[in-house]
Amino acid sequence: MILELLANVGAPLPAVIALLVVMGAVLAVQGGLLGVLFKKPTRKSAPARSASPTDETADEPVDETVEPAVEPAPETVEPASEPVDETVDEPTDDASEESDAASCHSERSEAEPKTLPEDATPSDPEEPVDEPIPIEELLGEPEETPEETPAPAEEPEEEPVEESVSEEEPVEESVSEEAPEEGTAGEPEAAPEESSEESSEESSDAPVESTAETVEEILEEHGLESVDEITAEIAEEIMAVHTHHDGEEVEVVCVEGLSKKYSKKADYAVRDVNFRCYEGEIVGLLGHNGAGKSTTLKCLEGMLPFEKGEISICGHDIRKDSIAAKANMGFVTDNHATFVKMTGMQYLAFMADVYKVPTEVRKERVEKLEEIFRLGPAIDNLISSYSHGMRQKICMMGSLMHMPKLWVLDEPMTGLDPRTMHAVQGFMREYANAGNCIIFSSHALITVAKMCDRVVLLRTGNQLDDLNIKRIMTVDPNFDFEEYFLQHEGQD
Amino acid sequence: MKDRIDFKQVGALLRKQFEERASAYRKGNFDVFGFLLRWFLIAVFLAVFIVFFGRFTVTYLSVKTGGVTVERTRLYELLAMTYTVILLFLVIGGISQINRRLFDADDIKLLMGMPVGAKTVFVAKLVSIYLGQLVISVACVLAVNVTVAIHTTQPWYFYLVTALFCFILPLISLAISALVAMPYHALKQFLKDKFVLYFILITLATGLLFYLYSIVLGAVRDMLLGDSLKFFFNEQVMNFLQTLTKFLYPAVWLADLLLGQNLLVAGLGLAGVLAVCLTVALLVIRRLMVWVMQARIAGDVHFIHKKSEIKAAKRPFLALMRKDFLHVFRTPAYTFSYFSVAVMMPLMVYFCMTIGSSIVVKLIGMNCDLEIAIFLTLLFGALTNVFCSTNISREGEMFYSVKAFPVDYKQVFFSKVLLCMLVTALSQLISAVLLAAMGYIIWWQAAFLFVGGLLCSFAQICFATRYDFNHAKFSTEEDGEIKESGNTASTIIVLGMLLAFLTGGSVLLLRLLTALRPVVGLGYLTYLIVGILSMMAAALAYYYFIRKLGERYYTFSGGGQL
């Protein structure tokens, strides 16, 4: 009929062609091809620095249609039969109780004051905190832990309100909403800070004997007989209190009840992992091979889907608001996968494009990163010609082009030469001090002990601990983290 | 300790290689549909070959020289020429296999650090290459000899020698390949970082091959037109072929053995060639292999680019497209199968158009140029677009990294689709312009051809990209190159050809029917059918492509790397 019509009207064949073209165009527009092609960039500057997460969310459509299941409260992880339970379950339970009460999007609301001021953090990561600090000062609060430990469990009375708010509101808003409520909590903040200052002042003058006295005090307090037991005991005590982070800090990462299976029939690769990371923190993910470190990081990076739990980065849910979440993150994978057919410089330009880094800051960033990683003229070579370590370097450089709020590294020190390793460690500390957050997995216990503020311990997919390692090391410089780790590893 | 061949280790290495290959057929990895399609394609190819070769054999055997038909002489020439082609085919395959399994294989690097002797590794690799060649050899030899046996009467030893050839032919081809493999490898290494030069050379080589192919097609046309093929084999041509045949060693010995003549000379000659080639090849490869391996372990070519500064900002979409372009352009195998073939596609359409047009005019005395042009454009377009069947797989593990980038999944996929569309659009445009310029179609028909072809290509690209995403198999090679033509490629070829035959074939058929019995008002039927079918194909493929893509992108954990 159309044909006859065309023939009768005498429509030229180009009309038929035009019809084809128009229909093709409609098809493309409907599907979003043209929309994708001609969409303007949504951010003008580095997302982590200039654009607020809220802006990004507004500009970028949420494409993932998968509804993140509102999962029931995660089950307690540790099997009852395990002897380690007594030592480590307490913080884990606390964490799970906390996760019951608060969602990933909420600002942490512990009234617990910040007892470890930033000044106490060594600016040079090469220098460990050797100066003994009187334990009674630092453990002033933990001494009350038998009574105070369940405190987080009492908080949920307030939390449900926050949860309902925070599930929909970004972090900034929840902060502002919480501020009046925290007025009361804010008051005691000054005192502990003073006390910590005092403690640091005292620590410089404090004789070594004072530490020994304190240790004895603790021995007495806990009825311990052997000095050998002190490390574990102190660790337990501190863990009980310091599983939760101190202070009113902005949450960068929140992982709650994360459970991931690689196939329906398989066991969970990670089960009910809970941790939060805050601005200025370096958090280590530690565990044996196959413990679930890389899986956790891949879920965090948005590479892998997960069955249960929630992950948010800077308040953006990795599933609901993935683009905004990913824009605040830079990552380095364990296999150092890159686009090997690009030159190093082309790769950096590509990463800058993907993360929408403005032209004017790119050169400066490349120069700054080159100072740290020193690829030299090889930066203009094809990445396929790079050695393992060089690939590691270019991956790190690429992941930092947009100076992300969260820097995730899977086995970052593997393959690096000693000079670069030293430079990277220093940079990591500086980067965290600048208000960013770093999460990395590693097997190098010494590096972890030296670098990290906190350590999340994983074993066979379960979270064992969330240790404030910096705090422990400050309290007890002789704390043997390696022994502690191996002790837990041995408890099968 | 002296390096001796340890046959137990050879067995262990062969088992390893077998298990690696067998893993593709395990549950979860096995794509039944693609596998069946692949074998279907091979079967179709063999069937077409047997039919055409049978007709050619009959025609060639009846060619007269000096007014006399000497079937045995013609058969000798035919077998010598055919076996030369088979040997060439096997040698090209052998060179590729040697380079892939000996020089480019990753396991060699590991094996070099193990207490496995170089000779043992070398022999194990050669055996596996031989087994691969054996399969191809059996298919070729049986197809040729069975066809010959159908059309001529052959004694019992013909069949015996046929069975023997199945095993000997791969040995000969392997020996020759081994000699050529090293210079080929050196040339490949030389061109590895000279991307533009490589592109030009490989495109010219492809053009030359297509030109030779067009000559073969010309012969096929003459064959289809009956007596004209006999006319093609005139006195001059036959003299040339007879002279040429004398120099086609070692194929002439093979022909001698098959026909039971000059047995001693042929047997000794063949054995001599085999011994010399194998000895030289073994010595050369074994010595140079160590050097090649050490060069590999030392690292890739250090091609120093000019010192550059970081480029100005681009949209993420364009950055993703550029990334894909660089990946394809800087990977030799991809450059050939993507860009060179696309550039040469218009020539192929043109060659076939000249043949097809003349056949139709001669057979039915009417002009169906537009319909033939549509058919050829869609057919070759479908074959050209096969490159998009690795749109996802070629990304390798980096696909997971791309998942972690703050870019919408639509940008990730559409950047790939658009790059493919640009390549195919250029190809289709040149084809249409060429056909119009040569007077086969008029300009607005060329425009219609371009749009119709583009819509079909869009359908194929969308389908291929999604199909590859659903059945992604990441390469384990260091450079992420997909070296095996996978089941996805077979599926895309079959579906593309189906669309081409359905659309092009139907309009051609209708044109013939309406020419016999003209119907008023059906002049536009060709446009209508092509328009509707191509749009339907585009719409359906697009729906298949986009359906639940975001959801699948989030849940994607395939590729075989986890």
Where does the pLDDT of residue A88 fall: very low under 50, low under 70, confident under 90, or very high at 90 and above? very low
B393 to chain A nearest CA, in Å?
14
B391 to chain A nearest CA, in Å?
15
Query: Which residues from B are below 8 Å from A6, CB to CB?
Result: 524
Where does the pLDDT of residue B58 fall: very low under 50, low under 70, confident under 90, or very high at 90 and above? confident
Query: Which residues from A are below 8 Å from B315, CB to CB?
Result: 39, 41, 353
Q: Express as a percent the part of chain B with pLDDT over 70.
A: 87
Q: Which residue has the tokens 């000062």?
A: A137
Is B414 touching A (CB cutoff 8 A)?
yes
Determine whether the interchain pair A33/B480 forms a contact, defined as Cβ–Cβ distance below 8 Å: no
B420, pLDDT greater than 80: yes
Chain A: residue nearest B547 by CA?
A31
Q: Catalogue the long-range contacts made by A208-213 (C-beta closer than 8 Å, 24 or more residues apart).
A: A208/A132, A210/A132, A210/A134, A211/A132, A211/A134, A211/A135
Query: Which residues from A are below 8 Å from B527, CB to CB?
Result: 13, 16
For residue A287, give every residue at least 6 positions away whose Cβ sits within 8 Å of its Cβ, in sequence order, or none.
Answer: A293, A441, A457, A458, A459
* Strands A437-442 vs A462-467: parallel, antiparallel or unpaired: unpaired
Instruction: Average the pLDDT over each of A167-171, B349-353, B490-494 and give the range with the smallest value.
Output: A167-171
Do residues A363 and A313 lie in contact, with contact meaning Cβ atoms separated by under 8 Å? no
Distance CA B113, CA B146 (A): 48
3-state secondary structure of B303: coil
Q: What is the mean pLDDT of residues A269-279?
A: 89
- CA A106-A294-B484 angle, 5° bins: 130
* Pick from A21, A333, A354: CB nearest B451: A21
B518 to chain A nearest CA, in Å?
15
Chosen from A20, A397, A401 to mutate, greatest number of chain B CBs within 10 A: A20
Chain B: residue nearest A357 by CA?
B313
A·B CB contacts under 8 A: 214
pLDDT of residue B491: 82
Q: What is the mean pLDDT of residues B479-493?
A: 69
Query: Which residues from A are below 8 Å from B407, CB to CB?
Result: 323, 354
Query: Which residues from A are below 8 Å from B551, CB to CB?
Result: 64-66
Distance of CA A46 to the CA centre of its chain: 19
Determine whether the interchain pair B414/A381 forms a contact, defined as Cβ–Cβ distance below 8 Å: no
Is B522 touching A (CB cutoff 8 A)?
yes
A57 to chain B nearest CA, in Å?
11
A327, pLDDT greater than 50: yes
Distance CA B19, CA B36 (A): 21
* Pick from B479, B542, B546: CB nearest A384: B479
B94 to chain A nearest CA, in Å?
26
Would you say domain A251-489 falls under CATH 3.40.630.30? no
Distance CA B165, CA B184 (A): 27
Determine whether the interchain pair A24/B451 forms a contact, defined as Cβ–Cβ distance below 8 Å: yes
B96, pLDDT greater than 80: yes
Instruction: Average the pLDDT over each of A70-74, A485-489, B131-135, B314-318 and give the range with the smallest value.
Output: A70-74
Instruction: Average the pLDDT over each of A171-175, B140-144, B500-504 and give the range with the smallest value.
Output: A171-175
Q: Which residue has the tokens 């007989």?
A: A225
Q: What are phi and psi of B2, to 5 degrees?
A: -70, 140
Mean of pLDDT over chain B: 82
Distance CA B438, CA B444 (A): 14
Where does the pLDDT of residue B290 fall: very low under 50, low under 70, confident under 90, or very high at 90 and above? low
* Pick from A33, A37, A331: CB nearest B404: A331
Q: What is the mean pLDDT of residues B351-358?
A: 85
Q: What is the mean pLDDT of residues B210-225?
A: 74
Instruction: Average the pLDDT over each of A229-238, A274-283, B77-86, B144-153 and give the range with the smallest value.
Output: A229-238
Query: Which residues from B are below 8 Å from A382, CB to CB?
Result: 193, 300-301, 303, 305, 330
Instruction: Average the pLDDT over each of A156-160, A459-463, B48-52 and give the range with the smallest value.
Output: A156-160
Within A302-387, residue ranges assigned H as helices are 322-327, 344-354, 359-373
pLDDT of residue A3: 34
| Each residue's pLDDT tens digit, B340-354 | 888 888 988 888 888
Where does the pLDDT of residue B432 fall: very low under 50, low under 70, confident under 90, or very high at 90 and above? very high
Instruction: Average the pLDDT over each of A133-137, A279-283, B158-162 and give the range with the smallest value.
Output: A133-137
Q: What is the mean pLDDT of residues A453-461?
A: 86
More confident residue, A82 or B194: B194
Ranges of CATH 3.40.50.300 domains, chain A = 251-489
More confident residue, A109 or B389: B389
Instruction: Average the pLDDT over each of A139-143, A228-232, B38-42, B118-122 and give the range with the smallest value.
Output: A139-143
Query: Which residues from A are below 8 Å from B533, CB to CB?
Result: none
Q: Express as a percent the part of chain A with pLDDT over 90.
A: 12
Chosen from A22, A294, A354, A409 to mutate, greatest number of chain B CBs within 10 A: A354
| Each residue's pLDDT tens digit, B3-17 | 677 788 888 888 888
ipTM: 0.76
B50, pLDDT greater than 80: yes
Query: Which residues from B are below 8 Å from A395, CB to CB?
Result: none
* Pick from A7, A333, A362: CB nearest B521: A7
Burial class (CB within 10 angstroms; exposed 0-12, middle 13-18, buried 19+) of B2? exposed
Chain B: residue nearest A302 by CA?
B404
Buried b (16+ CB within 10 A) or exposed e, A379-391: bbbbbbbbeebbb
Chain A: residue nearest B327 by CA?
A341
A454 to chain B nearest CA, in Å?
25
B443, pLDDT greater than 80: yes
The two structure tokens encoding residue B138: 């059996």
Mean of pLDDT over chain A: 62
Determine whether the interchain pair B447/A14 forms a contact, defined as Cβ–Cβ distance below 8 Å: yes
Determine whether the interchain pair B316/A348 forms a contact, defined as Cβ–Cβ distance below 8 Å: no
Determine whether the interchain pair A339/B538 forms a contact, defined as Cβ–Cβ distance below 8 Å: no
Do residues A402 and A357 lie in contact, with contact meaning Cβ atoms separated by under 8 Å? yes
Determine whether the interchain pair A353/B417 forms a contact, defined as Cβ–Cβ distance below 8 Å: no
* Pick from A36, A333, A380: CB nearest B304: A380
Instruction: Average the pLDDT over each of B18-32, B143-157, B388-402 and give the range with the smallest value.
Output: B18-32
Determine whether the interchain pair A380/B403 forms a contact, defined as Cβ–Cβ distance below 8 Å: no
